[in-house]
Structure 1
Amino acid sequence: MLEGNRVSRISVRGFAVASATAVTAVGAVTGVASGSTGQPSNDAEATASDSTLLADIPTGQQAQVQTASLTQQADAQAIAADASAKKDAEEAARLQAAKDAVAKQKAAEKAEKEAKERKEAKEAASRSATRDASTFSVQASYTTAQIQAMASSMVPSGQFQCFSNIVDHESSWNYRAVNASSGAYGLFQALPGSKMSTVGSDWQTNPATQIKWGLNYMDSRYGSPCEAWSFWQANHWY
């Protein structure tokens, strides 16, 4: 029976069974005609079964079923591809993180090495440029020009101007300068002045001794006379 141009599942199933029966009958007649005494083949039954399975799906919906099946396959493939891509991305990120860590470590080691080399170079330059106070002849008094000449031979050339700026502001190059209120003494207004005895007992009368102490103080506390001068400019003391 036809319903809206569609063969019903019952009609299709009946048609398939009828067809299978017809094939079976033909096979039997053919067997008799050929003298075969065997049993009828099961091919017809298999054909009928397959036809019935296909016929279970209405004709108009077979394309939809096939499309749904293909969609499921595509979705499964897409999920698998996403999982693979995620795994690859995680592995790439892990490798990049490891590379970055190694690069940072190398950069830190390089920076530390360069800082150490700069410090050693600065200390070497300071040692080579600094004359011992005992190399200067002792005098009863010294002029400003003589004291500045001493300082220029003891302080590294690149640091001298900063060194001079501090002395200008602290004592105007007067190695006997005394602060009336605090008692600070000498070129650098050391407080107390006796702390300069660490480099020489003649700290009260020898500007070379004071210069040596002042340079050591700036290097040890600030790193250099110029760094000490930067601090002085910001705070007006050092």
Structure 2
Amino acid sequence: MALSVVGGAELAGNANERPEVDPPAETLAYQMQLAELERVVDEAADRGSRGTSDADASERTVRAEAAQVKPEPEPEPEPEPAPESASEPAPSDSTGPVPASCSEYSGNRATGCSMLLDAGFGIDQMSCLDNLWTRESGWNHQAQNPSSGAYGIPQSLPGDKMASHGSDWQTNPATQISWGLEYINNRYGNPCGAWGFFQSNNWY
């Protein structure tokens, strides 16, 4: 009996004390998972804060660099060529200088210049007439083309056409010049017109 009492007393004494009990393994695992989750969330928030700061800094750097770069100026458009004038072209240099008066010439040229003015042409036509008949006959009133038979200063073909202006057409420069000026006027309008045609065709 004594053993039972003692044993009973010991049991009664232990009943007043709260025994320490280890938590279940499931609870420990849950707490560890929760702590790990909180750590991951904190790290993510920290990285997001740093990333925002870095992004802001990068944007400010890009803006500053862009402000320093000046765009290249666009090339100015080339001016359009001026439209061609509808007026008559300027006389070719090949017409030669315009004489101040017929006194600049001598011989058959002087006669031709005087008769040119009498026929109503301007002094500016004399350089063309001089070029034309210099090429045709050298102003020689006896010039004759052996192959075609053209004759005189204007190289009339045939030569006897000039008889309409005088029977002395073979020997008189004035008769030849008179006929030649009429021919030029009727066919080309003026000596420069005849000279321009001659330059393209080598005849008039």
Give the TM-score category using the shorter length.
0.3 to 0.5
TM-score (norm 2): 0.45
TM-score (norm 1): 0.39
Q: Which has the larger radius of gyration?
A: 2
- Please identify which structure carries the higher helix content: 1
